Amino acid sequence: MIAPDWFREDRLPHIYCAGCGNGTVINCTLAAVEEMGWKRNETVFVSGIGCSSRAPGYILADSLHTTHGRALAFATGVKLARPDLNVVVFTGDGDLAAIGGNHFIHACRRNMDMTVICMNNQIYGMTGGQGSPTTPQGAFSTTTPYGSSEPAFDLAELAVAAGANYVARWTSYHVKELTKAITTGMQTPGFAFIEVRTQCPTNFGRHNKLRQIPDMIEYLRGHAMHVKKYDRLLEEGKPIPEGTFTVGELARRNRPAMGVRR
């Protein structure tokens, strides 16, 4: 059950399609907020534009629903003006890595003290299924009708390289692990980035022979490999199946951070 103290029931019915993974991510985030014992008047949710960015609208707390790609710029402003607040950002793969890509790397570099949760459905969901920077090579979308010819960004690895203090990746299938990762991210001073691979049966699945909701969840579960196992296979020179992505904790460190409560 979604954390009742934080859920805005008056906003129902929600806009998400049947089988969308975003509700799971909101639920895990609110479970983490409860675990942290954060108060409503000291917590702000910030987002850009997209299905994922609609998440703060369902949460009973102050929020900023900003412009496409600019959530991290607004969140940086909030955190610098009010370091006493807990800042949580919801974003999508398009919002974060396409139009907002530059804000992403610089917020990691500055190590801004906030928790950023990216619902990576590997597509522009809200606008009807155009390819994004995380659309896998070969995947179909409305803008890649012959299969994407471009390599995809690995968002979590990008955050590690750019300097974030905490980086983890899970999927909407891994509910317990995801909740724990978000909680750890919230506990870690500096930029905490949690990438969540989520299912978008409507605009990704439909184009990629994953029409049924369980097909997409099975796809996520089946392609996820714990980073420790992945590293071991690499070390042993063993083959890694096509399309595999790592899950688990990719960075936990203590670089100097900006916007930390004094």
Ligand X SMILES: Cc1ncc(C[n+]2csc(CCOP(=O)(O)OP(=O)(O)O)c2C)c(N)n1
Q: Which residues bind ligand X (CB under 6 A)?
A: 49-52, 68, 92-95, 119, 121, 123-127, 132
Closest contact distance (angstroms) between CB of 219 and Mg ion is 16
Closest contact distance (angstroms) between CB of 158 and ligand X is 15
Binding mask 45-74 for Mg ion (x = CB under 5 A): ------------------------------
Return the number of the residue (51 or 247) whose C-beta is nearest ligand X.
Answer: 51
Q: Does 121 bind Mg ion (CB under 5 A)?
A: yes
- Residue 37: exposed, middle, or buried by beta-carbon count in 10 A (0-12, 13-18, 19+)? exposed
Closest contact distance (angstroms) between CB of 236 and ligand X is 36
Closest contact distance (angstroms) between CB of 133 and ligand X is 9
Per partner kind, with CB cut-offs from 5 to 8 A, the member of Mg ion, ligand X, none near residue 247 is none
Q: Cα separation of 202 and 17, whole Å? A: 7
Return the number of the residue (100 or 125) whose C-beta is nearest Mg ion.
Answer: 125
Per partner kind, with CB cut-offs from 5 to 8 A, the member of ligand X, Mg ion, none near residue 165 is none
Per partner kind, with CB cut-offs from 5 to 8 A, the member of Mg ion, ligand X, none near residue 153 is none
Return the number of the residue (125 or 248) whose C-beta is nearest ligand X.
Answer: 125
Return the number of the residue (5 or 150) whose C-beta is nearest ligand X.
Answer: 150
Amino acid at 124: Y
- Site size for Mg ion (CB under 5 A): 4
Q: Cα separation of 219 and 76, whole Å? A: 35
Return the number of the residue (75 or 119) whose C-beta is nearest ligand X.
Answer: 119
Q: Does 100 bind Mg ion (CB under 5 A)?
A: no
- Which of 25-33, 121-129, 162-170, 208-216 is the region at the interface with Mg ion (rule: CB under 5 A)? 121-129
User: Judging by DSSP bridges, how do beta strands 62-65 and 86-92 pair with one another?
Assistant: unpaired
Q: 8 with 59: CB under 8 angstroms?
A: yes
Provide CB contacts within 8 A for 213, sequence distance 6+. 18, 19, 199, 201, 205
Return the number of the residue (66 or 183) whose C-beta is nearest Mg ion.
Answer: 66
- Chain residues binding Mg ion by CB under 5 A are 92-93, 121, 125
